[in-house]
Structure 1
Amino acid sequence: MDEMMSQQRSITKYRNGRLEELEDDIVIEFALTIFINGEEFATMVCSPTHLEELVIGFLASEGAILFKDDITDFKIDQDGGFAYVKLKTKIDMDQRQYAKRVIGSCCGKSRQFYFQNDARTAKTSMMKTTIHPEQCIQLMKAMQENSHVFKNTGGVHNAALCTTSEVLIDRADIGRHNALDKLYGYSLINKISVRDKILVFSGRISSEVLLKAAKIGVGMVLSKSAPTDLAIKLANDLNITTVGFIRGTSFNVYSHPERIIDQPEV
């Protein structure tokens, strides 16, 4: 799959005081338009991998479906850039939350879009799992070691679904929300319980990322970057542990630190 996310391009590079021509790996940007029951629903800008996971995770995140079994037919025309989904139930496309829209990879205008169904789809975590600080550091290290596309291009976000001791599945995408939707879709397709799982993420923990985590159903988010103020407020409300700046041998815990323990439970 990694080779489908980038392509080589000729570039001019300046280094050591001189210009030189060479080949470089560039991430691929792909537009995917989703149709639900024959009506256009959304166009997503994404990386062209794991598209079934992406669409299913996205639809679940937006409350269009609860389970994969809510879908009666699913087809992807990758050459054309289309996904055709048939659902058991009809969706009122005239409702505001389902207005046709384009979702950019950077999600810079996502507030209007992502806050409309959140009260219905975000879950308050009931997670009982605890984790040792060294396990947080090791999970981040494991995800980064698997991030081959990022190492080659520097142009994708990475996310992983983990237990306290190992990475179960990792996904990459040019859009940070897309990487999370791919994990969500994977868990729905494979009927994986996520209540005791941990989300490890390469980017900033924004309010949208935190809400994506809540919609997926995880109770802990680990990141190498910072959270925002609103993300911390939401994490406190939704009982989610947020850990940021996991770099080297240190990190910061911003909400629900009771799940981070430095001594084994007795």
Structure 2
Amino acid sequence: MECLHGTALRHVEQRTPTNVRATDDIIACEVPVALHYNAVPFAVLMATPCDLADLALGFSLSEAIIGPHDAWQLDDVLEELEGFVVNMRIPEARAARLAQRSRPMPSYGGCGICGSASIEDVLRMPAQVSSQLQVDESALHRALDTLHQQQPLNAETGATHAAGFANARGELLLVREDVGRHNALDKLIGGLHGHNIPAGDGFVITTSRASYELAMKAAQIGIPLLAAISAPTTLAIALAQSTGLGLVGFARDRKCVVYAHPHRLRRTTP
């Protein structure tokens, strides 16, 4: 498969009012990634095919398929003709509960909850965020200032979202990219778990809007603050308010709007 590193070359025409030029362009890949638990298919994600182990683990944690202390095993990541299959082994009790949650449709790159079979599956309420972390505005802006330097896929293609995790000082510890904003966050969550980085010890910034599924995933694993460069939705705000998640939107150009739990983001005086 040509997309092993998340990008592929395509022949294109670059057009201006005075010129047409044939050239090659670097394009972000989007392929189906099937997640199988205990040899049973559960979901197909449309994702960028890099950091797939992180994606599978992060999706499993953020969707409450497994808990942070559950035993699990990544059996293999298999390349197929047009995509990948990720096989995970989870506890039988978890697999039995999972069998009650049907996802008969694929989840597309812009939607983390497409294919869920019921409203109850979608609108589940995570536990309260237990972290007491508060972050200075200056730390948020410091993390945002450095995020663009750690987005190699987007630098090449202009087509991917990024999710980054920063400590309380605003130092980025981990960044993941994907064509889907929810996939980028799931990859980040899987990376945090794999690197033994406590979710409650920092905050997440994302280069997208703050949709419900992003707020839900962040709260599910105990992230205390989620900041997005674009707007949140009403449902994301409601979930953040209910769970103790600090929610920030329009975080760019040294400005931001706080939508939930403003105590999470301490005002930095000029």
TM-score with structure 2 setting the length: 0.87
Aligned to 1:210: 215
Give, in angstroms, the shift of residue 94 of structure 1. 8.0
SS at match of 1:184: helix
Provide closer, same or farther for how the CA distance between residues 245 and 73 of structure 1 changes in structure 2, counting only shifts above 3 A: closer
| Match for residue 234 of structure 1 among 219, 234, 239 | 239
Which residues of 2 match residues 91-240 of structure 1 at below 5 A? 91-92=95-96, 95-107=99-111, 110=114, 112=116, 116-117=120-121, 122-165=126-169, 166-240=171-245
Q: How many residues align?
A: 263
Which residues of 2 match residues 34-113 of structure 1 at below 5 A? 34-67=35-68, 70-72=71-73, 74-79=75-80, 81-90=84-93, 91-92=95-96, 95-107=99-111, 110=114, 112=116
Give, in angstroms, the shift of residue 110 of structure 1. 2.8
CA distance in 1, matches of 2:242, 2:98: 31
Give, in angstroms, the shift of residue 83 of structure 1. 1.3
Indicate conservation of the 8 Å contact 2:106/2:115, yes or no. no
Indicate conservation of the 8 Å contact 2:103/2:117, yes or no. no
Give, in angstroms, the shift of residue 35 of structure 1. 1.8
SS at match of 1:35: strand
Indicate conservation of the 8 Å contact 1:240/1:256, yes or no. yes
Provide closer, same or farther for how the CA distance between residues 134 and 99 of structure 1 changes in structure 2, counting only shifts above 3 A: closer
Give, in angstroms, the shift of residue 44 of structure 1. 1.3
Provide closer, same or farther for how the CA distance between residues 69 and 96 of structure 1 changes in structure 2, counting only shifts above 3 A: closer
Provide closer, same or farther for how the CA distance between residues 108 and 159 of structure 1 changes in structure 2, counting only shifts above 3 A: closer
Deviations 1:148-206 (A, max 9, x none): 21122121110011112200100000111111111111122233211122011000001
Which residues of 2 match residues 28-39 of structure 1 at below 5 A? 28-39=29-40
Provide closer, same or farther for how the CA distance between residues 133 and 111 of structure 1 changes in structure 2, counting only shifts above 3 A: farther
CA distance in 1, matches of 2:79, 2:69: 20
Deviations 1:120-154 (A, max 9, x none): 67232123222222221111111122112112212
- Return the letter of the residue paired with 2:41: E
CA distance in 1, matches of 2:98, 2:186: 24
Gapped regions of structure 2 (runs ≥ 5)? none
CA distance in 2, matches of 1:182, 1:223: 17
Give, in angstroms, the shift of residue 50 of structure 1. 0.8
Indicate conservation of the 8 Å contact 1:55/1:185, yes or no. yes
**Percent of aligned pairs with the same amino acid:** 25
Deviations 1:199-236 (A, max 9, x none): 11000001111111111210101111111122111111
Provide closer, same or farther for how the CA distance between residues 28 and 208 of structure 1 changes in structure 2, counting only shifts above 3 A: same
Indicate conservation of the 8 Å contact 2:105/2:116, yes or no. no
Structure 1 stretches of 4+ with a deviation exceeding 4 A read: 93-96, 111-115, 117-121
Which deviates more from structure 2 when the two are superposed, residues 18-27 or residues 169-178?
A: 18-27
Deviations 1:63-118 (A, max 9, x none): 22113752145211134511122223152378442344311112186384695446
CA distance in 2, matches of 1:162, 1:177: 18
Deviations 1:8-36 (A, max 9, x none): 21101112432211221101112111222
CA distance in 2, matches of 1:212, 1:139: 20
Aligned to 1:25: 26
